[in-house]
Amino acid sequence: MSRRARAAVAVSVVIPACDEAALLPDLIRRTARTLERAAASFEVVVCDDASTDGTPSVLENLSRLEPRLVVRRRARRGGRQVALREGLQLARGTAIVTMCPGCGVVPEQVTALLEGIKRGADVVSGRRVRHGLCTFQRLAGWLRRAVLGALSGLPGRDWGSSFRAYRRHALAALLRGPESSFMLPDLLDLQGFRSLRVQVAGEPGGRAVPSEDDAAFLGQRLAESAAAVIRQRIARRRAAPAVLLPERSNAAT
C-alpha cells in the first residue's frame, strides 16, 4: 500500500482484483476521469487478492501515474469478498462506491450512484439488465432472492449486486456484521437506513461460466447471509416492547 499520507476525501471507489491485469488500466483511468468531474476529491482503492498474473506490476505502474490510486496487496488469496471488505476498511471517502472488474460495469455510471446519495439515500444499488448469464447464475440469483427475501420480509432484488454506493456511516453499520453482511444492503432497511435502486447502463461481457468455487461461494454466502438476516430479526424482536396479557381469573365460572 502507498505510504503517502491519506486525508479524508469526498468519494472512495473500492475495487477488489484477482488476475485482472488486462482490465484494470482502462477501468481505473475511466473511473478517475469520471470522478474528476463529479467529486471535489476522490481516491481509487484496489485490493489485489494475491494475483498471479501481471496485476501487481500493472498496479505499481498505474500508481506512479495516478497519485489518487491506493493499492493493497494480499499475501494469500481469500476470495472477492475478503478483498472487497479489506478495501472498504481502507477507504476514507464520505461516500464509498464498490465495483468489480469484468462484471460489465460502466465506470461512468458512478455518477448515477452518487446522485442517489445526494438525494438522501444511505445505500444505492446499481441495477442493470444482464444478458448472457448461464443457467447456474440465474438459478443462484433466484435462490438468493427467494430465501433471503423470505427470511427478511424485504424484496431483496439486488442481493448480488457489486456496483453500489454507501454513505460512510451506513457502510460502517454493515461492516460491524458478519463477513458477508456488507454485501446485503437491504439489511440496512432493518436498521432504519434508506436504500435506493437505480437503473444503470452496462457493458456486454462479464464472467458467465461458473466454476466449482462459484458453487462453494454461493453456499457459504447464502448461509452467512441467512444467519445475518435471522440475527437482525431476533435483535429487532428483543428490542420491541413486551405486550402484557391480562391475568386470567381463578374464580369458578
253 found inside a domain:
no
Residue type, 181: S
* 79/123 same-domain check: no
Cell 462479464 locates to: 206
149 found inside a domain:
yes
Q: What is the pLDDT of residue 197?
A: 85
- pTM value is 0.73
Residue 28: burial class (beta carbons within 10 Å; 0-12, 13-18, 19+): buried
197 found inside a domain:
yes
Parallel, antiparallel or unpaired: strands 123-127 and 164-167: antiparallel
* 93/132 same-domain check: no
Spatial distance between the Cα atoms of 127 and 150, rounded to a whole number of angstroms: 21
* 123/225 same-domain check: yes
Question: Is the separation of the CB atoms in 187 and 232 below 8 Å?
Answer: yes
* 30/78 same-domain check: yes
Edge-to-edge strand ranges of the sheet holding 93-98: 69-73, 42-48, 9-17, 93-98, 164-167, 123-127, 195-199
Q: What is the pLDDT of residue 7?
A: 79
243 found inside a domain:
no
Domain span at residue 198?
119-160+169-237
16 found inside a domain:
yes
232 found inside a domain:
yes
Would you give the DSSP letter of residue 122? S
91 found inside a domain:
yes
What is the CATH classification number for the domain harbouring 81? 3.90.550.10
DSSP alpha helix (H) spans, the chain: 24-38, 55-65, 80-90, 110-118, 135-152, 168-175, 212-239
Residue type, 8: A
47 found inside a domain:
yes
Q: What is the pLDDT of residue 103?
A: 78
Question: Is the separation of the CB atoms in 163 and 93 below 8 Å?
Answer: no
Would you give the DSSP letter of residue 132? S
Spatial distance between the Cα atoms of 26 and 50, rounded to a whole number of angstroms: 20
Per-residue pLDDT in tens (0 to 9) along the chain, 253 residues: 444 556 799 999 999 999 999 999 999 999 999 999 999 999 999 999 999 999 999 999 999 999 999 999 999 998 888 899 899 999 999 999 999 888 778 899 999 999 999 999 999 988 765 555 555 555 655 665 566 555 555 555 554 567 899 999 988 888 886 655 555 555 666 677 888 888 887 766 554 433 434 455 555 555 655 666 666 666 666 666 655 545 555 554 4
Q: What is the pLDDT of residue 2?
A: 43
CB atoms within 10 A of CB 216: 11
Q: What is the pLDDT of residue 252?
A: 47
Domains: count for the chain: 2
216 beta partners: none
Question: Is the separation of the CB atoms in 99 and 162 below 8 Å?
Answer: yes
